[in-house]
Amino acid sequence: MVLKISYLFILILMISFSSAFLGTFEQGKCMEIRTISNSTQVNISTIELPNNTILFPNRNMNVTGKTWNYTFCGTDTIGNYVYDFNDLEGNVFVNDFDVSYRGDSLDGPKATLYSVMLGIFVGLWFLILFYTTKLPDGNTDLDDDGLMQVSKLKYLRHALFGVLWTLSMVILFISSNLALAYLQFQMFSTILFALFQLMMWLSIPGIFLWFAWIFWTLTTDKKIERYLNMGMGPGRDF
């Protein structure tokens, strides 16, 4: 028993481990696993996919000068890949790389730009919502006898709700693209994009209904203003 433990300890000491990040690559395209070594033979042993599937290529890497490379084409899944390789001297190396939709990392300039834009749109959405709720949604009652004053701010309120609807579509579109490009689970991106498409289709009849509401409200306000100019109270029916 002691002999086995001693042998295992010596074996661990003989093997040197190192780890490095290879980079981020585009989904669905072949990439090169490269390393530099003075050894006369380098063998790639296993590749662990983001879904925990382990491949066992166990093949010799090709060499050009001191650069060893292995062409890997199984990049269909977005996420982190971990691979290990060894040389004749007994050195074992464990490296990893990422795969994203467009081949750029989440901390890259494009992702940063999209994230900043998303943050701005979300903040603007809440700011507009806050001020929209402060606006009247109809005409103002002056007293209990039914007299009222025509309020033009209700048009601004409904216009701002249209802006909120548009901003919601923009936020869903950007979020779905970010999820598609950088998240391993594509279902989240699919759901966000489906919501975006639903809002797009609902916008078509919504525009016609909004213009119909504007026309009806303008007609009603004209009648109220005519009654008020005649010194008559139109009542609460308007």
The enclosing domain of 72 has a CATH number of 2.60.40.1930
**Does residue 119 sit in the same domain as residue 188?**
yes
Please state the domain count of the chain: 2
Indicate the residue among 65, 81, 100 that finishes a domain: 100
Range of the domain at 170: 109-229
**Does residue 48 sit in the same domain as residue 152?**
no
What pLDDT does residue 216 have?
86
Lowest mean pLDDT among 125-129, 195-199, 202-206, 225-229: 225-229
Put simply, whether the predicted model's pTM sits higher than 0.75 gets the answer no
Model confidence over 147-195: pLDDT tens digits? 566 677 788 888 899 999 999 999 999 898 888 877 767 788 889 999 9
**Does residue 69 sit in the same domain as residue 91?**
yes
Most confident of 189-193, 214-218, 232-236: 189-193
Has residue 8 been placed in a domain? Answer: no
**Does residue 125 sit in the same domain as residue 78?**
no
Q: Are 34 and 67 in contact (CB under 8 A)?
A: yes
Helices 109-132 and 153-182: crossing angle, nearest 10°?
160
What is the per-residue DSSP string for 134-180?
A: TS-SSPEE-STTS-EE--THHHHHHHHHHHHHHHHHHHHHHHHHHHH
For the chain, the first-to-last Cα distance in angstroms comes to 95
Q: Are 184 and 100 in contact (CB under 8 A)?
A: no
**Does 18 have pLDDT greater than 60?**
no
